[in-house]
Amino acid sequence: MDIFLQQIINGLVLGSIYALVALGYTMVYGILGLINFAHGDIVMIGAMVALAIFHPLAASGIPAPVILLLALTASIAICVTLGMSIERIAYRPLRRAPRLAPLITAIGVSILIQYTAALIWGKQYISLPPLFKTTQLTIGGAHLTDLQAVIFLLACTVMGGLYWFVTRTRMGAAMRATEQNPDVAGLMGININFIISLTFVIGSGLAAVAGLMVVLYYGIGHYYMGFILGLKAFTAAVLGGIGNVTGAMLGGLLLGVIESLASGYIGDLTGGVFGSNYRDVFAFLVLVLVLIFRPSGLMGQPSAERA
């Protein structure tokens, strides 16, 4: 039972990070109908920028919270600039092109970002320098570090803020209108280009936060880390119902828990035939199962294809 609770806690913490990334996929998909393959790599850039700040400052004697705040600001600034430029340069000119075109550009951008990162930071794993000590809390026999708690709470706060923004503000209403029908929204006086840019800004900002969290959680960064993370976050978005903001949050948390439980128990269940080295397979399995049985996801409405 303790192991069960432990896996649930681990899953929720991990899932809150997936959820932040999934939001970026789902918002862009909702508005442009495009899978932004480069989104996972933006998370990677956020993580690498944070590491680049940590390394020279870790031993400088500056208090850890200041360094963290500095890293967060730098990550967000760089990721947001990157996200906006990608939309401007690679996606906007193709908005009216055949469907395949922006998908191919997206995968091209993803590769460009990965190998630019490899060029800047090298291809080796970069580990997190010791910044602070974590303390363990115990809840009903399961362990939780204060770092995990902070990650989870911060992710939930950010998501709450986003939910408020999308549902309660004028700007959020403009976003929802654009999502429903960009042409009509444009006729109603909404600046479509601005809203799309804003979507990329918000998505990339969330990606930067998630990148910092991944670094703190796993203690490691790598130029290729965005790929599998992106795949999982996309799965979370599909699980929740792609295009649906609440769905992405729920899907992320759920996927984190599923993955934790599955990789925690698969060894016992299969008598050791499959081990936790198959961990990355579960997200994919979930994706395929959702697409077979409920392609609209948990919270999405079935949508017909429009001409």
> What does the binding site for other proteins look like in residue numbers (CB under 8 A)?
33-35, 37, 90, 93-94, 97-105, 107-112, 114-116, 118-119, 227-228, 231, 234-235, 238, 272-273, 275, 277-278, 280-281, 283-284, 287-288, 291-292, 295, 305, 307
Task: Output the CA torsion 12→16→17→19 (10° steps).
Answer: 130
Q: Strand, coil or helix: what is 220?
A: strand
Q: 183: exposed, middle or buried (C-beta count within 10 Å: 0-12, 13-18, 19+)?
A: exposed
Residue type, 94: L
Chain-centroid distance, C-alpha 53: 21
Q: CB of residue 191 vs other proteins: minimum separation in angstroms?
A: 24
Q: Minimum Å distance from CB 205 to other proteins?
A: 23
Tokens at 80, concatenated: 């947001």
Tokens of 216: 């703190």
Listed in sequence order, the DSSP H helices in 219-243 are 225-240
Find the shortest distance in angstroms from Cβ 37 to other proteins.
Answer: 8
Coil/strand/helix, residue 189: coil
The residue among 116 and 181 lying less far from other proteins, judged by its C-beta, is 116
Alpha helices in the chain (DSSP H): 2-32, 39-57, 64-86, 100-121, 146-168, 170-180, 182-187, 192-218, 225-240, 245-269, 279-293
Q: How far is the CB of 115 from other proteins (least distance, A)?
A: 5
Minimal distance, residue 54 CB to other proteins, in Å: 25
Q: How far is the CB of 93 from other proteins (least distance, A)?
A: 6
User: Toward other proteins, which CB reaches closer, 152 or 234?
Assistant: 234
Q: Which is nearer to other proteins, 216 or 222 (CB)?
A: 222
Q: How far apart are CA 64 and CA 21, in angstroms?
A: 25
Burial of 36 (0-12, 13-18, 19+ CB in 10 A): buried
Q: Nearer to other proteins by C-beta: 37 or 54?
A: 37
Q: Considering beta carbons, is residue 167 or 276 the nearer one to other proteins?
A: 276
Least distance between other proteins and beta carbon 60 (Å) = 30
CB of 31 to other proteins, least distance (A): 14
Place of tokens 């997190």: 128
Report the residue number, 10 or 235, with the smaller CB distance to other proteins.
Answer: 235
CA distance readout (Å), 26 to 235, 240, 262: 10, 9, 25
Q: Which is nearer to other proteins, 69 or 120 (CB)?
A: 120
Select 177 or 281, whichever has its Cβ closest to other proteins: 281
